[in-house]
Amino acid sequence: MTRDTIRYREARAHYLSPRRRDPVKTLMEEVVSHRVFAEAVDHLRLPAGQALRVLDLGCGLGDGLALLTQPHGDLTPVIAGRQLEYTGLDADPDMVETAATLHDVPGTTFRAGDMRDDLPPGDIDLYLSCGVPYSHLTPDEMITVLSAMMTRIVDAGRRAVIVVDVLGRYSIEWTPNWDTSRWNYAMTFLEDTSERLEQPMTFYDRPALNSAIAEAAQRAAVPRVDVSFTDRSILVGRHTATRAFNPSIPPYRTLVNDLARGSSTVAPADLAFDPPTVGAPDEILGFFHVLAARWNKLLEEAVPATGEVAGDDPAALAADLLQAEMDEQRGLGTGHSLTATVVVDATAGSAR
């Protein structure tokens, strides 16, 4: 079978660019991912002093490692007080080579490899992913990959967590593509590079992702699986800045970034969100209606008596808008990415 594998080449400049870590990323996206990973580690119930063994699938330049080892906002590092044994796996050897150079940390290894092949040996506590690597797979490939991981966990009779990060099907970034779950996605948001990376990607809502996880668990005869879902970047995904797939929306990410940097020239009216009313299941449309009510109320309250600009503290408005996203998300597949935290518990025995 021919595999579609992107070689990032120039795109390394994007992942190394300081501009990539814009306010939306540092104030919200990294915080959301940090919380997901911290919750995943809590689910493991590891004894005090036991090392956390992590396999980061589609590791890129090691964002997952940074999310585990660095503080974000007022959140202490996920691995605080615990030794980390980390392996990053990526199909692009250029990315692996660069990641190894960037993260010369004891207990850390980066390897070239495809998650569809045999994974590195050894017991793993946390199968990590960020940056939507599973969306590069077809649905059948993802089920096969997840089933293989779950089989390893079951055969070892242990407890482990798999974090599955995918593109959200019903993001407003690509409303015109809501009628299909796999289409040609282009990474047109890359910083400091002219490279255009494009390939078919798979997009998920919660029912579809939950169904894939359930099928994998059935194939692996997992005694118990618990799943929770998190949406990230609902109105401020990177393609709300490029508007490459939906030019009719405001550049929400750009405007929120400007507010967060202290700009008082952003008019709240420019950030108004008119929620979609067709093209998605009722639960999705209902969610957007609720989010719009809170988002637009914050904008209305931010307008001073003159009605001219965002008020005396634009950064506070940016923080409130980002907090609204985090508070209102329901893990439906309405953000740029949808993350499933899959707790696989084989400690009670196996049906295999």
pLDDT digits (tens, 9 = 90+) for 297-347: 999 998 765 455 555 689 999 999 999 999 999 999 999 999 999 999 998
Q: d(Cα 327, Cα 41) in Å, to the nearest integer?
A: 22
User: Cα(126)–Cα(41) distance, rounded to whole angstroms?
Assistant: 7
Residue 351 in any domain: the answer is no
Residue 130 belongs to a domain: yes
Strands 159-168, 126-128: pairing is parallel
Are 215 and 257 members of one domain? no
Does 3 map to a domain?
Answer: no
The verdict on 166 and 277 lying in the same domain is no
Asked if the model's pLDDT at residue 20 lies above 70, the reply is no
Same domain, 202 and 251: no
DSSP letter string over 250-317?
A: --HHHHHHHHHTT-S---GGGG------SSS-HHHHHHHHHHHHHHHHHHHHH--TT-SSS-S-HHHH
Q: Domain check: are 165 and 80 in the same one?
A: yes
The mean pLDDT value for 187-198 works out to 54
Name the residue type at position 341. Answer: T
Q: Say what the pTM is.
A: 0.91
Say yes or no to pLDDT of 206 above 60: yes
Most confident range, picked from 87-96, 183-192, 335-344 = 335-344
pLDDT in tens, 36-76: 999 999 999 999 889 999 999 999 999 999 999 999 989 99
Is residue 352 in a domain? no
* Residues 74 and 201 reside in one and the same domain: yes
Residues 243 and 301 in one domain: yes
| Tens digits of residue pLDDT in 263-273 | 989 999 999 99
Quote the mean pLDDT of the chain.
90
- In the chain, the percentage of residues whose pLDDT exceeds 70 is 87
Q: Which residues of 27-40 are buried (b: 16+ CB within 10 A; e: fewer)?
A: bbbbbbbbbbbbbb
**Banded model confidence at residue 203, pLDDT cuts 50, 70, 90:** very high
Looking at residues 136-153, what average pLDDT do you find? 97
Across the range 80-87, mean pLDDT stands at 94
Q: Can you give the pLDDT at residue 190?
A: 43
Q: Quick one: average pLDDT of 79-106? A: 91
Q: Are 229 and 248 contained in the same domain? A: no
In this structure, are 205 and 109 located in the same domain?
yes
Tally of domains in the chain: 2
224 and 246 assigned to the same domain: no
Which domain covers residue 300, as residue numbers? 239-328
Domain membership flag for residue 193: yes
91 and 129 fall within a common domain: yes
CATH of the domain at 34: 3.40.50.150
Q: Answer yes or no: is 337 within a domain.
A: yes
Residues 72 and 166 grouped into a single domain:
yes
**Helix pair angle (252-260, 314-328), 10° resolution:** 130
Residues 336, 173: contact at Cβ < 8 Å? Answer: yes
Rg (CA), the chain: 20
Q: Are residues 298 and 190 in the same domain?
A: no
Nearest-angstrom CA–CA distance, 142 and 212: 8
Q: How confident is the model over 111-125, as pLDDT tens digits?
A: 999 999 999 988 999
Report which of 68, 118, 65, 73 is spatially closest to residue 95, judged by C-alpha positions. 65
Tokens of residue 227, six digits:
């799943």
Q: Report yes or no on 249 lying in a domain.
A: yes
How many Cβ atoms are within 10 Å of 77's Cβ, its own excluded?
17
- Using pLDDT thresholds of 50, 70 and 90, give the confidence band for residue 196: low
Q: What integer pLDDT is reported at residue 105 of this predicted model?
A: 81
Within a domain: residue 304? yes
